[in-house]
A and B are shown apart, each in its own frame.
Chain A
Amino acid sequence: MFLLIEQLLNGLQFGLLLFLLAAGLTLVFGIMDFVNLAHGSLYMMGAYFAATFVGWTGSFVFGAILALAATLLLGIALEFVALRHLYGRDHLDQVLATFGLILFFNDMVRLIWGPAGLALPLPTWLTTPVQLLPGVYYPAYRLSIIIVALLVAALLYLVVMRTRIGMLIRAGASNREMIGALGINIKLLFTLVFGLGAALAGLAGLMQAPILTVQIGMGENILILAFVIIVIGGIGSIRGAFLAAIFVGLIDTLGRAFLPDLLRKVLSGAAASTAAPALSSMLIYLLMAIVLVLRPEGLFPAAKR
């Protein structure tokens, strides 16, 4: 029972982290109709900035805030210099250009920080496990990821649903041409949305950094999951991304946690141990396939007219 609670928290934490990454991706894809493969690079840059700034300032929280600001600025600069010239182009051109950006960022990081990767140590108040219930311990840092991500999700919800900017973002997701025709400065809106997406990716990267290592190419595997999430959730929908991310996080973690034991009931021990990891990593893609068959638009598509 305690194990189940712990594994549910693990899944929730992983899902919320994926949400931060997917939220930016779905905004950029849904509103700007722009496929940004370099989103994973912004995630990586967030982690590298955080490792550097925490080293300079000696404070984890302060370093993280600086890193967040730096990724935001980097995202805006990237949009301004390179990506805005690609909006009218074919998706294939965008994929090619942003794939080039992945290579660019990887080699730039190699030049600046070296190939070995960096460590981002946690302050002691985050390294001790917290007792949630008698007998249920949970790492304080993973708990803080859950809290921060939930706060960000709530904030995002308020901004998108309750503010003028959010109204424009939603309008953009529904009908891009129309809000341009209504005299909204669409260029500025796009820059803003892209910067917001970059900051969210950077936040995911810097929060993941102490758990994993900060290394070149760290954003590439996780980006695939983020794409799966926005496909499941419906492109352009923040709510869809949120729910799909939590689904995916839970399915991945619970699959890994309980599938081996289930398989051992049917298969021999050795075969089950080998098959379980392979099978559990397929579960997410199975879910995506099922969603695509039943609801090709995703579970919560942004309203279109």
Chain B
Amino acid sequence: MKTSFWLAGVAALALAQPAFAADTIKIGFVSTFSGPTAVIGNDMRNSFELALDHLGRKIDGKPVEVIYEDDQQKPDVGKQKTEKLVQSDKVDFIVGYIWSNVLLASLKTAVDSKTFLISANAGPSQLAGELCSPYVFSTSWQNDQTPQAMGTYMNQKGVKSVFLIGPNYAAGKDMLAGVKSTFKGEVVGEEYTVWPSQLDFSAELSKARNSKAEAIFVFYPGAAGVQFLNQYAQAGIKQQIPLYTAFTIDELSLPLQKENALGVPGAQQWVNDLPNEQNKKFVADYRKKYANLRPTFYGAQSYDAANLINSAVVAVKGDLTKKDAMRDEMQKVNFKSVRGSYKYGNNHIPIQNFYLQDVVKDADGQLALKTVATIVENDQDRFHDKCPMK
């Protein structure tokens, strides 16, 4: 008797669940929360949570439920988690994705279900071109854009030849292709390493040294960036061949790279010292909320993603069935991005500035990233012509 009463209660609760869910905004967040790159996922989560704090934990007056899922940096796991979020959690938005290969594996699931997906980092060339979708927006960049800016900067510095090194996966190939598309000098060598397992770059560094190139360009996100810089310095190549980077030095890797990162330039669409009000608030409140941590560009993009979602939901007054109206609103970028203002191209990839960043000692004597110059203004990715959306 007692048991059946209890069971009835559970059943009633289970039935009540969908009615309750309609009154909350459900967001799925796929990122890496385990393994050596978990620090990146944590930074994205921290920033997303901070954005929700700033929104008063509500979007258009409704409470927000965020479901965080760990992709373990593996495409198959990312796809599974995306399926779970779409099919059983029935989320209204999916956000996150650090890795291009994980995003490419997960993309179809989200798009087929017509769930809005906001990439807060990964920007594979396919997503900007033939795989572009009305349901996908990026708050980051297309992979090629940042290295393209670095290629432009190397031209400005008068570099005549370069040796390229990067990981052998979707983003690595985009990054090296990006440099090659703008760099006017000679590419004397191009090496791809096994990703993510190869951590020793001695063979590649020896080849770079022997190529007699005037510069080395690398793309190594996360812990691999620390290892590359360590080995580059230990091999004594730092005194011989200057290094140019994309996504290799950030606020997470810098405390481990230390002096090895001094004087190594990088390109980025967001730097912690960009002088707009919303960015000052983001950086200051982040450092207040998470003691001893500093936000990275991964976090800044996640912070923007939360605000992009907020703008869309507010525009349709919380009626999430009006997908077209939400899309139109998101295309307008009707919120204050921490990178300053940007526009969307036809493929929903930002048209934005790219800055030169350098490593300096800040007022506390700690190493920090600093904006030095604007390399390109209002840069649009080079695949938008291939996107059928107009």
- Using CB atoms and an 8 Å cutoff, list the residues of chain A in contact with chain B: 2-3, 6-7, 10, 13-14, 115-119, 121-122, 126-129, 137, 139-142, 210-213, 215-218, 221, 253-254, 256-257, 260, 269, 273-274, 276-278, 280-281
> Beyond A119-B256, A210-B234, A217-B35: 15 further Cβ-contacts under 8 Å?
A3-B206, A7-B206, A10-B203, A10-B206, A117-B36, A119-B226, A139-B231, A139-B234, A142-B202, A213-B223, A213-B230, A256-B193, A274-B168, A277-B168, A278-B194
What's the Cα separation between A3 and B207 when bound, in Å? 7
A257, closest chain B residue (CB): B203
B17 within 8 Å of A (CB atoms): no
B234-291 interface with A by 8 A CB criterion: 234-236, 252, 255-258
B4 within 8 Å of A (CB atoms): no
With contacts A3-B210, A119-B226, A212-B199 known, is A139 near B236, CB below 8 A?
Answer: yes
B39 within 8 Å of A (CB atoms): yes
Give the 7 A-B CB pairs with smallest separation, nearest first. Answer: A129-B236, A10-B202, A257-B203, A119-B256, A6-B206, A256-B203, A277-B168
With contacts A13-B202, A115-B38 known, is A276 near B207, CB below 8 A?
Answer: no
* Cβ contact within 8 Å between B42 and A115: yes
* Cβ contact within 8 Å between A6 and B36: no
* Cβ contact within 8 Å between B223 and A276: no
A233 CB, nearest partner CB in chain B, Å? 21
Q: Which residues of B have CB within 8 Å of A215?
A: 36, 223
Residue-wise interface mask of B (163-200) relative to A, using a CB-CB cutoff of 8 A (1 in contact, 0 not): 00000100001000000000000000011111001111
* Cβ contact within 8 Å between A278 and B199: no
* Cβ contact within 8 Å between B202 and A277: no
B233 within 8 Å of A (CB atoms): yes
B223, closest chain A residue (CB): A213
With contacts A115-B42, A213-B226, A216-B36 known, is A277 near B258, CB below 8 A?
Answer: no
* Cβ contact within 8 Å between B203 and A273: no
A-B contact pairs, 7 of them (CB 8 A): A3-B206, A119-B226, A129-B234, A137-B235, A212-B230, A256-B203, A281-B194
A252 CB, nearest partner CB in chain B, Å? 9
Residue-wise interface mask of B (206-236) relative to A, using a CB-CB cutoff of 8 A (1 in contact, 0 not): 1101100000000000010011001101111
Which of B36, B198, B203, B209 is the most central at the interface, judged by chain A CB atoms within 10 Å of its CB?
B203
With contacts A129-B236, A210-B234, A281-B194 known, is A256 near B39, CB below 8 A?
Answer: no
* Cβ contact within 8 Å between A274 and B173: yes
B70 within 8 Å of A (CB atoms): no
What's the Cα separation between A281 and B203 when bound, in Å? 13
What's the Cα separation between A121 and B36 when bound, in Å? 19
Q: Which of B202, B223, B231, B252 contacts A14 (CB 8 A)?
A: B202
* Cβ contact within 8 Å between B39 and A211: no
B18-69 interface with A by 8 A CB criterion: 35-36, 38-39, 42
What's the Cα separation between A6 and B206 when bound, in Å? 7
A281, closest chain B residue (CB): B194
What's the Cα separation between A128 and B234 when bound, in Å? 6
A52 CB, nearest partner CB in chain B, Å? 15
A135, closest chain B residue (CB): B210
Counted as pairs of residues, one from A and one from B, with CB atoms less than 8 Å apart, the total is 112
B204 within 8 Å of A (CB atoms): yes
B176, closest chain A residue (CB): A273
A6, closest chain B residue (CB): B206
- Using CB atoms and an 8 Å cutoff, list the residues of chain B in contact with chain A: 35-36, 38-39, 42, 168, 173, 190-194, 197-200, 202-204, 206-207, 209-210, 223, 226-227, 230-231, 233-236, 252, 255-258
B250 CB, nearest partner CB in chain A, Å? 13
What's the Cα separation between A290 and B199 when bound, in Å? 26
What's the Cα separation between A196 and B384 when bound, in Å? 60
A253, closest chain B residue (CB): B203
What's the Cα separation between A32 and B204 when bound, in Å? 40
Q: Which residues of A have CB within 8 Å of B226?
A: 117, 119, 213
* Cβ contact within 8 Å between A139 and B235: yes
With contacts A14-B202, A118-B256, A256-B203 known, is A129 near B235, CB below 8 A?
Answer: yes
B248 CB, nearest partner CB in chain A, Å? 13
With contacts A139-B236, A141-B234 known, is A119 near B206, CB below 8 A?
Answer: no
Q: Which residues of B have CB within 8 Å of A141?
A: 234
B224 CB, nearest partner CB in chain A, Å? 9
Q: Which residues of B have CB within 8 Å of A137?
A: 209, 235-236
What's the Cα separation between A2 and B212 when bound, in Å? 13
* Cβ contact within 8 Å between B258 and A119: yes
Which of B210, B235, B257 is the most central at the interface, judged by chain A CB atoms within 10 Å of its CB?
B235
Q: Which residues of B have CB within 8 Å of A13?
A: 202
* Cβ contact within 8 Å between B200 and A212: yes
Q: Which residues of A have CB within 8 Å of B190?
A: 269, 273
What's the Cα separation between A222 and B318 when bound, in Å? 51
A17, closest chain B residue (CB): B200
Q: Which residues of B have CB within 8 Å of A14?
A: 200, 202
B165 CB, nearest partner CB in chain A, Å? 11
Q: Which residues of B have CB within 8 Å of A216?
A: 35-36
Q: Which residues of B have CB within 8 Å of A117?
A: 36, 39, 223, 226, 256
Q: Which residues of A have CB within 8 Å of B227?
A: 211-213
* Cβ contact within 8 Å between B173 and A277: no
What's the Cα separation between A129 and B203 when bound, in Å? 15
A46 CB, nearest partner CB in chain B, Å? 16
Q: Which of A2, A3, A7, A211 contacts B231 (CB 8 A)?
A: A211
* Cβ contact within 8 Å between B236 and A257: no
B237, closest chain A residue (CB): A129
B166, closest chain A residue (CB): A273
Q: Which residues of A have CB within 8 Å of B38?
A: 115
Q: Which of B42, B168, B203 contacts A7 (CB 8 A)?
A: B203
What's the Cα separation between A139 and B237 when bound, in Å? 10
Q: Which residues of A have CB within 8 Å of B203?
A: 7, 10, 253-254, 256-257
What's the Cα separation between A243 and B111 when bound, in Å? 53
Q: Which residues of A have CB within 8 Å of B252?
A: 116
What's the Cα separation between A282 and B205 when bound, in Å? 21
